[in-house]
Chain A
């Protein structure tokens, strides 16, 4: 094990249990001997976890019992660490206006008063904007992740001034910024990110879990699959419209969508399918458990990503690892994972005709599907493995630490 991997990392402002890609990251770091503390909301009990060097702190007391416990913490922590507690209060006061807000935030972060992290990492820009002053309180460097929508979409929302104003502040304070793709890094530079601070670390997949199945039988119907929540930025309306065009051309096709949904967008999907008369061709399967998702993915002929915005889609990487050719829109960092004509096709966003054309090419040629699928898996093995991701994170953290000590 690497000697220098002994440092204490605090991951702040996620939900627990975390999204798969954050979970994979934590697992990788913990396995390398990094001490990780996660401050998240949704934690039921703050005891030690399965890993001895992973611990949890609840950031948002929800139940009455948790709230009472948090108040009792006042009586216990403040007398033990009076100087630090006062300092914490003063810094919180600087960053919150209303007294109630000051008290609320102070109580939220009070458990951290006695902690000494080496690095704090905000996995979301919004978390960094809310809690960036922790870096002053805890006297340690901070790292912020730029993953997608919070850089590409939220700052453009007239109602999200907090993000637009907050991004430059957090980029100024951060010692390093983790960007999931070059494209995200470039967009972030528009909000004040110093390119020297940017570290491109792409998401990764476990190529042994996500692997092709040996015998795949083509039954004369092209199975197109998308995994991803039914939310507007996934652009499903364009995908479904593209399927209509394929059906009009006489192509035998079945389009499956797997993922949770937001109510209004679910209505939109159902309506679009009904309005375009595609009940027999498009199938929304809802949220499935991981093993079922994997099974469907391995059985699919083509993976389709119709997104309007992406950092780099984990779902696409998983499909590539399974040896499935990909049709993806040219958004965010998707071009960094898929080369047009090699592992699949890259088409302009909001263009159902282009999606339909790309899918037609894949319908016509089983050999093309096979070649592209194979190229996809090779690309994953070369560039997007969990091992490489963990190494890259460690390198980033070490660089931040050495900068700090010098």
Chain B
């Protein structure tokens, strides 16, 4: 089948899961195209770079919407569409004219990259991307699948009760990362009988594989790591407060944070105010091989998010045999098995985080939880299984 994935950017380091899914679907023999608005992070994906030329043909960039761009590109895109797919384009405009009138020209300008891929199935990888776009199902005679991954269901459009109403009606299938998100999707109006699937993220457990598997020595300093963009929803302020509580109780701790983002100033300020400049390092954004090194270094992976879809970084840490302390935000409860692969604590609660970090000063416990974590990820969150699930779901949607 011809599948078109709609994402904001591709390839992007913080959205490695899209890259993995893309490659997996290609391997299964589907014609996969990606439509995005920018294509920035190639250098972080060495295995993609090797085949950059072939892959680039499958990536289409949305045209920019400044007046100058529209004037130049609209005629070019029109001619290209008419010449390459005359009947298909005719159908698009015929249906579109009924719905939009002259405004169909404006819609076409945005839709042209998708139209060029002539998809059987269009998958909007984030809910917010699909708003006001579900008409594409009728105009292109394609099925529409929409993913909800966390922020899109948690707070986008929360001030407008009918923000996603059109998606609940028009989409042919809904994909959620886990049951928690599916519950929130229903709370925001999706009928419970809607065709949907719960497919958790997956990671490449051959890349995320620990070098050292023996028990680490009981070191006097607890080494804590977080990986994730610097944003309010990741709850770093609660993590820092927990580190401060640990220090205040006389425990030695070193905390490293990998990631960048617009919340950097707030986090740097918080670190300073809490007197943690010496033991907390902000490492910025790092490529995967360096993240792996830090995961080897870490005793505990900490994720204090207040809102989270599922969190791949937490899966990766478990695959690397690092025990996890995480908040109970959304999918994290399904991601970490509380008391087995790590600890799940209430969100916005630094005291609870600190308590669990202290528990994890025990090296034997860390090893046990680490091993349980890896075993769980290897058995439940592998890429092949995930791709199979998507394949199955897509067939189901198409046969509807």
Footprint of B on A, CB under 8 Å?
Answer: 152-154, 156-160, 232-233, 237, 241, 264-265, 267-268, 270-272, 274-275, 308-309, 349-350
A sample of 10 inter-chain contacts (CB < 8 A) reads A153-B265, A156-B268, A157-B264, A232-B263, A237-B306, A267-B151, A274-B155, A275-B307, A308-B266, A308-B269
Query: Which residue on chain A has the smallest CB distance to residue B244?
Result: A350
B232 at the interface (CB under 8 A from A): yes
Measured CB to CB, the closest approach of chain B to A342, in angstroms, equals 25
Measured CB to CB, the closest approach of chain A to B275, in angstroms, equals 13
Q: Complex: how many Å from CA A157 to CA B230?
A: 13
Give the residue of B156, B269, B306 whose beta carbon is less than 8 angstroms from that of A275: B306
Give the residue of A153, A157, A270, A350 whose beta carbon is less than 8 angstroms from that of B159: A270
A residues in contact with B155, CB < 8 Å: 267-268, 270-271, 274
A268 x B159 contact (CB < 8 A): no
A308 x B263 contact (CB < 8 A): no
B158 at the interface (CB under 8 A from A): yes
Measured CB to CB, the closest approach of chain B to A309, in angstroms, equals 7
A residues in contact with B263, CB < 8 Å: 232
Q: Complex: how many Å from CA A350 to CA B16?
A: 34
B85 at the interface (CB under 8 A from A): no
Query: Which residue on chain B has the smallest CB distance to residue A241?
Result: B348
Q: Complex: how many Å from CA A153 to CA B232?
A: 16
A residues in contact with B264, CB < 8 Å: 157-159
B237 x A157 contact (CB < 8 A): no
A232 x B232 contact (CB < 8 A): yes
Report B157-191 CB contacts with A as 1/0, cut-off 8 Å. 01100000000000000000000000000000000
Footprint of A on B, CB under 8 Å?
Answer: 151, 154-156, 158-159, 231-233, 237, 241, 262-266, 268-270, 272-273, 282, 306-307, 348
B residues in contact with A233, CB < 8 Å: 266, 269
Q: Complex: how many Å from CA A267 to CA B306?
A: 13
Q: Complex: how many Å from CA A267 to CA B163?
A: 14
Q: Complex: how many Å from CA A271 to CA B156?
A: 9
Q: Complex: how many Å from CA A274 to CA B273?
A: 29
Give the residue of A241, A268, A350 whose beta carbon is less than 8 angstroms from that of B233: A268
A350 x B269 contact (CB < 8 A): no
A160 x B265 contact (CB < 8 A): yes
A350 x B265 contact (CB < 8 A): no
A158 x B306 contact (CB < 8 A): no
B307 x A265 contact (CB < 8 A): no
A157 x B233 contact (CB < 8 A): no
Measured CB to CB, the closest approach of chain A to B285, in angstroms, equals 13
B residues in contact with A153, CB < 8 Å: 265, 269
Measured CB to CB, the closest approach of chain A to B226, in angstroms, equals 17
Query: Which residue on chain B has the smallest CB distance to residue A152?
Result: B269
A residues in contact with B233, CB < 8 Å: 268, 271
Q: Known: A157-B264, A233-B266, A270-B159. Is A350-B237 also a contact (CB below 8 A)?
A: yes
Q: Known: A159-B264, A232-B232, A241-B348. Is A271-B269 also a contact (CB below 8 A)?
A: no
Q: Which of B151, B158, B159, B263 has most A Cβ within 10 Å?
A: B158
B154 x A271 contact (CB < 8 A): yes
User: Which 5 A-B residue pairings sit nearest by Cβ, starting from the closest?
Assistant: A271-B155, A157-B265, A267-B155, A270-B158, A232-B266
Give the residue of B156, B273, B348 whose beta carbon is less than 8 angstroms from that of A267: B156
Measured CB to CB, the closest approach of chain B to A307, in angstroms, equals 12
Q: Known: A158-B282, A270-B158. Is A265-B237 also a contact (CB below 8 A)?
A: no
Q: Complex: how many Å from CA A152 to CA B273?
A: 10
A271 x B158 contact (CB < 8 A): yes
Measured CB to CB, the closest approach of chain A to B38, in angstroms, equals 19
Measured CB to CB, the closest approach of chain A to B185, in angstroms, equals 14
